[in-house]
Structure 1
Amino acid sequence: MADQSAEGMLSPFLRRQRISAVRPFLQGRVLDIGCGSGALAAYVDKANYVGIDPDPVSIATARNSFPGHTFIQRLTLEGDTFDTVVALAVIEHVPDPVVFLTGLKANLLCVPSARIVCTTP
């Protein structure tokens, strides 16, 4: 999310804990919502990873750190599907979490075994 170009708002300990908890679920094609500087990209093949964040500084940092991975500011992947959608410390910033999750399920998760992985502070 915004102002996390270097995950400045997130302690290194907490960041490591979240990444450790989510790593077993990083399978197939992964969409990382609120990717910040792209830390999860290190654990997903560049062909299977898309990171999205509204903060241009975060996206620039991620692109420099993980060349070849896809990082975008807006979701423009109409018709694209993902096996895993990750939203680490994002849902608490969404105005309507039910609409957010329902939209993810309806528009991005078309594989029966697909999953949404969310964390909160």
Structure 2
Amino acid sequence: MQYMLLIYNDPQKEPAYGTPAFQEIMAGFFAANARMKEDGVLRSGEGLQGVETATSLRIKSGKVETMDGPFAETHEHLGGYYVIDVADLDAALTYAALIPSAHFGTIEVRPLMDYNPAS
């Protein structure tokens, strides 16, 4: 089963770029990446650029509307994701716990839909 691990961070709580604490967090991400690759569960994953680069789209009454930034106003911002392929939710949670942002943010673990099951 594939799961998406969505990484949410509160920018006020994450370590400042270039500090030793930031380097420690990045080392944790590199270690999590390496572990998921070694275990053969990593399918994809990337960090996202800041929310100030986002554009949201919706269609109302047949008209496309766009707006700068994310739609929801929250303290935590979606900062990245991993897609992993594991046996079950317990295994997905084990890998989610490797993500350093879990110490100051939230990791949402969500199963992916399978619209193309094997015949």
Q: Same fold (TM over 0.5)?
A: no
Q: TM-score, normalised by structure 1?
A: 0.28
* RCO higher in structure (CA 8 A, sep ≥6): 2
Q: Which has the higher strand share?
A: 2
Q: TM-score, normalised by structure 2?
A: 0.28
Q: Which has the higher helix share?
A: 1
